[in-house]
């Protein structure tokens, strides 16, 4: 039963990643993660950024300008690690891949939360002075680092949390896009209908593409 579930998710998420074994984590029972270490970090970092929801429940108190600076800094590190390692200029490790992915995903999640609130409840965005902005930015970097090491320590047990994180990632992005069109309460039924249709079409397409990819790889491997 569990093996069938694993194969389903591995196929479903196959179009999202190269799924190279050496660049992926292994679970405690020897199963390869559904995506590589860098993507694993991105999705888990994104997921755990939403623990800040309780901090931002009444007012969004993260300084978006400083968050954007951190995001682009980590995007640069993410890109440099990927490009230089793929170009053969240096060797990288799954630790570094996970590190660059996790920080990027975390701050992407914070930015997406800001965008969602800006669209739906702009009055809930707090105005912060420079001192508070710097303190909160420092706290977020420390908090992200704490989450990074905790998840890294537990990584071999997080295989199926990763599956949830990927679905959650897709949901949040679709949710923000749909909020642009269905922010009015009277349109909520249309929102849920559109969300259901997008999810069904997207993940059905992913499953078909994943099945095709895996079949092609198997054919090439057996030649």
The domains of the chain are located at: 2-222
Return per-residue pLDDT of the chain as tens, 223 residues. Answer: 888 999 999 999 999 998 999 999 999 999 999 999 999 999 999 999 999 876 666 667 778 889 999 999 999 999 999 889 888 888 899 999 999 999 999 999 999 988 888 887 777 777 777 888 889 889 999 999 999 999 999 999 999 999 999 999 999 999 888 888 776 655 667 778 888 888 899 889 989 988 887 777 666 655 5
Q: Which residues, at least 6 apart from 141, have a Cβ–Cβ distance to it below 8 Å?
A: 70
Distance of alpha carbon 34 from alpha carbon 8, whole angstroms:
10
- The SS3 of residue 26 is strand
pLDDT at position 7: 93
Query: What pLDDT does residue 222 have?
Result: 53
* The pLDDT value given to residue 94: 95
pLDDT given for residue 56 in this prediction: 63
pLDDT single digits (tens) 194-204? 888 888 998 89
Q: Report the pLDDT value the prediction gives residue 183, as an integer from 0 to 100.
A: 65
Quick check: 97 and 36 in contact, CB under 8 A? yes
pLDDT attached to residue 148: 98
For 182, residues 6+ apart whose C-beta sits below 8 A from its C-beta are 188, 190, 191, 194
Residues whose CB is less than 8 angstroms from the CB of residue 53 and which lie 6 or more positions away in sequence, other chains included: 113
C-alpha span between 96 and 33 (Å, rounded): 16
Q: Confirm whether pTM is higher than 0.75.
A: yes
């Amino acid at each position: 039963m569990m093996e069938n579930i694993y194969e389903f998710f591995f196929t479903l998420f196959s179009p999202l990643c190269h799924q190279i074994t050496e660049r992926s984590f292994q679970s405690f029972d020897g199963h390869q993660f559904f995506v590589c270490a860098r993507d694993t970090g991105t999705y888990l970092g994104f997921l755990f950024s939403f623990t800040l929801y309780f901090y931002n429940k009444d007012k969004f108190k993260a300084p978006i300008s400083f968050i954007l600076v951190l995001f682009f800094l980590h995007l640069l590190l993410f890109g440099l690690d990927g490009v230089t390692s793929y170009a053969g200029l240096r060797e990288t490790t799954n630790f570094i891949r996970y590190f660059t992915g996790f920080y990027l995903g975390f701050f992407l999640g914070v930015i997406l939360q800001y965008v969602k609130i800006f669209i739906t409840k702009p009055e809930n965005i707090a105005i912060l002075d420079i001192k508070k902005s710097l303190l909160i930015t420092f706290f977020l970097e420390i908090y992200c680092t704490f989450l990074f090491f905790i998840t890294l320590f537990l990584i071999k047990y997080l295989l199926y949390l990763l599956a949830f994180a990927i679905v959650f990632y897709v949901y949040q992005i679709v949710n923000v896009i749909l909020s642009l069109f269905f922010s009015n309460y009277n349109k909520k039924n249309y929102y849920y209908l559109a969300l259901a249709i997008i999810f069904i079409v997207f993940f059905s397409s992913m499953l078909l593409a994943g099945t095709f990819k895996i079949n092609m790889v198997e054919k090439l491997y057996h030649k």
